[in-house]
Amino acid sequence: MSRHLSWIAGLGLLLSACGGSKPARPALSQEGANRTFKLVQEMNEATRRCEQQRSQVTIQEEYTLGSAVAVNWVQQGGGLMLASEPGQRMHRTMNLIGQNLAAQSGRPTLEWTFGVLEEPNTVNAASAPGGYVFVTRALLRSVRSEAQLAGVLAHEISHVVLKHSLARYDDVKAEQCKVAASMKFSLAMTRQVQKEVMPPELGRMLDAMHGTGVLDLDKDPELLRRLTDPLVERLVQKGHAHEDEFAADAMALHLIASAGYDPQEYITFLGTLPEGGGFTHHPAHRERQERLLALLEAAKSPQDGFSELPASPRGLVKLSVPAEIAAATR
């Protein structure tokens, strides 16, 4: 069983102006006007740097962020099914399947970790940066073959490989950086002492973003929380963009075929999923199926580049749901 699962299982502004009337301010002196102009220029430059540092995420930053996001998924899913021996055997099997699929991907060296959430009613799957992939107990009960499960895992692996959550993280990071820049400008204009108003973690973030751009989240839990909470909220409330979901489906077909599974099984499984629930923000299942069927049809042409798909489907397998998984989810 992955050491990351054991670790996870153990873990349980912009300024708004006050209303009301204010006394009239005296006109700015030339010196004050020059100072204000300089401060505005500095804030604009700081805002530009906030945008410039997008996609500058180190692998260590991704792992730290991903572990924090993973803890959120585990908490929301009722914990991991690790308490019993059947649950541990199930996780070992899940990780064997998942690791095989991840080895076919463009990021095979990530420390991939696969887990099952206790959630018994909602059919859902989720992933986090750094290689964390989760499915619910309810989803495992709904798959009818190992190939269908492989399809779900491959879809989530693809989100990680394509860095879809990291793109949302870039948005959050840039927004928080701009908040810090705005605060710094406001404090300078009113000549307040920065440490009395600006959250210290935002000051540290602003310094880092305007320096190397590297955030050491391992040593800054306050900043990690400030970045993780809005990211998880955004993923829960809005999910991934529809085009990101289609892209993850398309890559999943390649991973499934590369691992020796019949990709048609995944397409069939999509048709059994309930609309809504954990798939509220996904495109309609029928549209996903139609796009995937079109990809498989196009794959019959050799110039498509879908080299993983053999000329005859007889070399591909679907297999029964592994006994360890079936036993643990009854």
Helices (H), 30-163: 30-52, 59-76, 85-103, 137-142, 146-161
φ, ψ of residue 160 in degrees (nearest 5): -70, -45
Question: Hey, what's the torsion of the CAs at 265, 267, 268, 271, to 10 degrees?
Answer: 150
pLDDT grade for 52, boundaries at 50, 70 and 90: confident
Distance CA 137, CA 72 (A): 17
Question: Hey, what's the torsion of the CAs at 175, 8, 150, 279, to 10 degrees?
Answer: -50
CA 224, chain centre distance (Å): 15
Mean pLDDT of 111-140: 96
The conformational region for residue 184 under phi > 0 = left, psi -120 to 50 = alpha, else beta, is: alpha
pLDDT tens-digit profile of 107-117?
999 999 999 99
- Return the H-helix or E-strand segment holding 135: strand 132-136
Distance CA 174, CA 157 (A): 25
Mean pLDDT of 238-258: 95
Weakest-pLDDT range from 136-140, 188-192, 240-244: 188-192
Question: Hey, what's the torsion of the CAs at 103, 106, 110, 114, to 10 degrees?
Answer: -60
pLDDT grade for 189, boundaries at 50, 70 and 90: confident
Question: CA distances (Å), 142 to each of 138, 228, 321, in order?
Answer: 7, 31, 10
pLDDT grade for 199, boundaries at 50, 70 and 90: confident
